[in-house]
Amino acid sequence: AALPALQACADKRPQAICSYALGRIYGQQAMTASVIKLPGLASKTKDQLAKAVQLDPTLFEARNGLSQFYLMAPSFAGGSVAKARELADQVQARQPEQAKLLRAVLAMNEKDWAGAEREL
């Protein structure tokens, strides 16, 4: 029931929170999707999270969600550690504390525990 309402929200009156929520739902669906449906859901997840970041660059939840997507998805599905790092770099000047959290997650992804601790 939530999916059609969020799709309408994201399509008719684009708002970052709607795109973020829609991206999260697609991401949850992708976690249990068949191999056939997975690429489409991964693409929808990335697109909606990126749209949310574009609509509101200060919405940390969307930026964090997109960063998590880049870290978890394989490269053929749009995953990229470099893109996750770019997301952290983009907010350094405006939101340094959020940038630190994103860099800490990046460090943990790379099993750089000391680096993660320094960021926190």
User: CATH number for the domain including 96?
Assistant: 1.25.40
Nearest 5 degrees, angle CA 21-CA 68-CA 116? 135
**In the chain, how many domains are there?**
1
Residue 109 has pLDDT above 80, yes or no: yes
Report the 10 Å Cβ neighbour count for 43: 15
d(CA 64, CA 95): 13
Report the 10 Å Cβ neighbour count for 16: 20
Domain boundaries, position 83: 2-119
Q: Write the pLDDT tens digit of every residue in 39-96.
A: 999 999 999 999 999 999 999 999 999 999 999 999 988 999 999 999 999 999 899 9
d(CA 56, CA 67): 15
* pTM for this model (two decimals): 0.89
